[in-house]
Amino acid sequence: MAVLDVPADRVDAGRILLAATPIGDVEDAPPRLRRLLAEADVVAAEDTRRLLGLANRLGVHVSGTLVSFHEHNERERAGRLVRAAADGASVLVVSDAGMPAVSDPGYRLVRAAVEAGVPVSVLPGPSAVLTALAISGLATDRFCFEGFLPRRPGDRDRTLRDLADEPRTMVFFESPRRLAATLAAMAEAFGADRPAAVCRELTKTYEEVRRAPLAELAAWAEDGVRGEITVVVAGAPVRVARLEDHVAEVRARADAGERLKDAAAAVAATTGLSKRELYQAALDAR
């Protein structure tokens, strides 16, 4: 896959560039993406037919070598793409929508390039994660991206239980076929009243954002939902520890053999309560 006779002054030569593609509206494609699609020596696409369709809508002719690069061949193709860049080629990597390596192929390629000392850069652009987060109406100062949940109900439910106390806003991708079941499982794990937003067909003609408690969204989704789905869920509310709720724990530790002061200190460390006040309350409870 090596490409020869690459101009020495080409700024993109000899490196791998991850490029974000539109998640819906083709007009979101930046001018730099248009240029690189036309000029890159190698274009690695998650779906080559979809990439050619995008290039056609952009009025761009892909002149470089076009190769498929998806989850089933990423491990094998990563080495070839790194070698091509090491030999001087400009390698452009795109997924079907959004940023490569974010729930799409790209992570193994970046790791291989880093290990080989091949430069890697990013062409920023559309992101379903950030678009949904911004439009959700939920807190944006701290968030985490959880991608797709496990398909098996048992694995999904265990994952959601582990996230029940996550204080940051959570962003998920989900299939429209599984959306109703997933929202119902979230309502069970996080609470029926936990605020959330279902973002559908972002940036497209039929864009829709539903903001409601999880139980209400689960009921709405039972009728069936179509399109690309991103779910945003509020983080767990901060639980303020109350002194009276933890005195019994201090007493139980003391009854098990700990010094009362040590028991009060241990409980204070996990709850944020005052060690002195816990100690005094435990004394008064005797």
| Predicted structure pTM score | 0.79
Residue numbers of the chain with a pLDDT score lower than 50:
1-9
Question: What is residue 192's predicted lDDT score, i.e. its pLDDT?
Answer: 96
Question: What is residue 270's predicted lDDT score, i.e. its pLDDT?
Answer: 81
Mean pLDDT score across all residues of the chain: 91
Distance separating alpha carbons of residues 59 and 33, to the nearest angstrom: 12
Question: What is residue 10's predicted lDDT score, i.e. its pLDDT?
Answer: 55
Distance separating alpha carbons of residues 194 and 33, to the nearest angstrom: 39
Question: What is residue 1's predicted lDDT score, i.e. its pLDDT?
Answer: 45
Question: What is residue 281's predicted lDDT score, i.e. its pLDDT?
Answer: 86
